[in-house]
Amino acid sequence: MVRLAISVEGQTEENFIQKVLVPHLQNREIYAEPLLLGHNGGDVSLPRIKKDLNNLARSFDKVTTFYDFYGFKGKDKAESKETLEQKIMDCVAAPLRERIIPYVQMYEFEGLLFSSPEAIENNINQSGLNDWANEVLKQFNGDPEKINDSPQTAPSKRLLNKTNYRKTMHGPNIANEIGMDVLREKCAGFGNWLSRLEAL
């Protein structure tokens, strides 16, 4: 049995972990618990992460993160997923680092939802969304994790501008319909993270 803390940035991610990831890992005797960064989420920055992860690593067998690249505060223009994950690791006390699995989602949680345009249309219940989401995917060679991060065109902004998307409700429901097999197949970064968790 492994007790796993998952530090998340918001309620949408918390609901997704609880609804989709927790049952999946529980089948492998990995008991995951999503915990909002700083107890109330938001403001993903290294000082807050440092405080949270050092505390969590003393209370759980393993600790991982689920933060969006898009919303990460204080990153410079040359920053990548890998450099941010290394900075997350580095902010944890050296004796505790073996317990940490840093993960940054490209570019944000909502990108995962484009793994199934059909599931987007089914859950938001708005005709034409399947075709629209497929067109978005084509622009990024069918890779949901490449849908860009900008205030205008991030995955969540696309959904909010086009639909009546409600983050905390629709997001986890869409991901649940898509299922882990498709998410890991379509989203390599997410799939690699999931494999690391399963290996615990």
Shared-domain flag, residues 41 and 95: yes
The yes-or-no verdict on residue 42 having pLDDT over 90 is no
DSSP secondary structure string for all residues of 160-198: HHHS---HHHHHHHHHHHH-HHHHHHH-HHHHHHHHHHH
| pLDDT of 40 | 82
What is the rounded average pLDDT for all residues in the chain?
Answer: 96
For residue 94, give both structure tokens: 């050296």
What is the rounded distance in angstroms from the CA atom of residue 184 to the CA atom of residue 200?
Answer: 17
φ, ψ dihedrals at 36, nearest 5° = -65, 135
| pLDDT of 79 | 95
Residues 58-78: what's their mean pLDDT?
95
93-119: pLDDT as tens digits: 999 999 999 999 999 999 999 999 999
The yes-or-no verdict on residue 121 having pLDDT over 90 is yes
Nearest 5°: the CA angle 170, 45, 25 is 50
Shared-domain flag, residues 63 and 128: no
The yes-or-no verdict on residue 30 having pLDDT over 90 is yes
Shared-domain flag, residues 8 and 100: yes
Residue 138, domain extent: 109-185
66-75: pLDDT as tens digits: 999 999 999 9
Shared-domain flag, residues 11 and 74: yes
Shared-domain flag, residues 47 and 96: yes
Give the residue carrying structure tokens 């997704």: 16
Shared-domain flag, residues 12 and 96: yes
CATH number at residue 6: 3.40.50
The yes-or-no verdict on residue 41 having pLDDT over 90 is no
Shared-domain flag, residues 101 and 8: yes
What is the rounded distance in angstroms from the CA atom of residue 169 to the CA atom of residue 149?
Answer: 22
Domain count across the chain: 2
Strand 100-101 versus strand 2-8 pairing type: unpaired
What does the H/E/C string look like for 55-74? HHCCCCCEEEEEEECCCCCC
Residues 15-41: what's their mean pLDDT?
95
Shared-domain flag, residues 30 and 17: yes
Shared-domain flag, residues 169 and 88: no
146-190: pLDDT as tens digits: 999 898 999 999 999 999 999 999 999 999 999 999 999 999 999
Shared-domain flag, residues 54 and 113: no
Shared-domain flag, residues 77 and 97: yes
Shared-domain flag, residues 133 and 75: no
Give the residue carrying structure tokens 């759980």: 60
The yes-or-no verdict on residue 140 having pLDDT over 90 is yes
H or E segment at 31?
A: strand 30-36
Give the residue carrying structure tokens 């918390």: 14
| pLDDT of 127 | 94
